[in-house]
Amino acid sequence: MEELRKSFKGRDFLSLRDFTGREINFILDEAARLKAMQKAGIPHPYLQGKTLAMIFQKSSTRTRVSFEVAMLHLGGHALFLSPRDIQMGRGESVPDTARVLSRYVDGIMIRTFSQSEVEELAEYATVPVINGLTDLTHPGQILADLLTVKEHKGQLAGLKLAYIGDGNNIAHSLLLGCPKVGMHISVASPEGYRPNPDIVTLAKQAAEETGVKVEVISNPVQAITDADVVVTDVWASMGQEQEQKEREQAFAGYQVNQALCAHAKPDYIFLHCLPAHRGEEVTADIIDGPHSAAWDEAENRLHIHKALLALLL
């Protein structure tokens, strides 16, 4: 285990594609350990004197607060950098930004639009780069989801997760992560809003190794039938606001509500990365009801980010 721990040091965290099932489970275990220490009031300043640059091209509540608090708990310091605060917002290149920040800080977290921008930043940085979200993937969120499922269900392997809605970055990262930890995954999206086919191919390749089922279909009832975990996300993500009305029509039959969830297992749990639009992708009685673990999920962003920072930095 010590060798596995050492193998994380200095690595980037760009996509769950880059991590094995064993490594993903190790991160979850580390997050659970740090969470227990925090709850018990045991200090864990593993990153004393370390600094994290946080580049935000997209605004955030959970990502900013959880990374900042994580660094504080770990004894380090985080710097919030919006486009107005750094020269990237005025045309400085990503490689130049990466080179300069690497001389100042011990790690970089970036929340932005393009996955290629994150990958370019990592290519030129000499410190670990963490993907805080792109339009293509949201790997840290899905680790928080998996930690929440494990807490509520006691296991991951053999469970079925149903994702209902837009084939976006959440769907992509669930597809990349679930098969690696032995979870079946069924994604229901309307035509024209399906997940990236290259990511679906990667998911099915991982599923062959672990013996689980991956399906991408259009029927939400079929997807949610016998699901242990039900997940959804907003129909229009940041940058897609102008498509709101069009998307409301396309996703009209994909609302997670009592009628749809009646097809899941009686003890299913509901997850949502937040922010949620009650009355659109999910009804209030689901997200605020007894099956919802969305608030545990939101808290677990902190513990996952803490684990990632402690391991990579």
Query: pLDDT digit string (tens) for 100-153?
Result: 999 999 999 999 999 999 999 999 999 999 999 999 999 999 999 999 999 999
Q: Mark whether 284 and 205 lie in a shared domain.
A: yes
The pLDDT confidence band at residue 238, using thresholds 50, 70 and 90, is: low
Q: Mark whether 220 and 242 lie in a shared domain.
A: yes
CATH label of the domain that carries residue 69: 3.40.50.1370
3-state secondary structure the chain: CHHHHHHHCCCCECCHHHCCHHHHHHHHHHHHHHHHHHHCCCCCCCCCCCEEEEEECCCCCHHHHHHHHHHHHCCCEEEEECCCCCHHHHCCCHHHHHHHHHHHCCEEEEECCCHHHHHHHHHHCCCCEEEEECCCCCHHHHHHHHHHHHHHHCCCCCCEEEEECCCCHHHHHHHHHCHHHCCEEEEECCCCCCCCHHHHHHHHHHHHHHCCCEEEECCHHHHHCCCCEEEECCCCCCCCHHHHHHHHHHCHHHCECHHHHCCCCCCCEEEECCCCCECCCECHHHHCCCCECHHHHHHHHHHHHHHHHHHHC
In the predicted structure, residue 242 carries a pLDDT above the cut 80: no
- Does the predicted TM-score (pTM) go above 0.85? yes
Q: Mark whether 205 and 254 lie in a shared domain.
A: yes
What's the rounded mean pLDDT across residues 239-245? 77
Range of the domain at 286: 141-297
The verdict on whether residue 138 carries a ligand-binding annotation is yes
Is residue 84 annotated as a catalytic residue, yes or no? no
Is residue 138 annotated as a catalytic residue, yes or no? yes
Q: Mark whether 152 and 118 lie in a shared domain.
A: no
Q: Mark whether 73 and 201 lie in a shared domain.
A: no
Domain count, the chain: 2
Is residue 141 annotated as a catalytic residue, yes or no? yes
Catalytic one among 247, 272, 301, 303? 301
Q: Mark whether 203 and 267 lie in a shared domain.
A: yes
The verdict on whether residue 169 carries a ligand-binding annotation is yes
CA–CA gap between residue 82 and residue 85 (Å, rounded)? 5
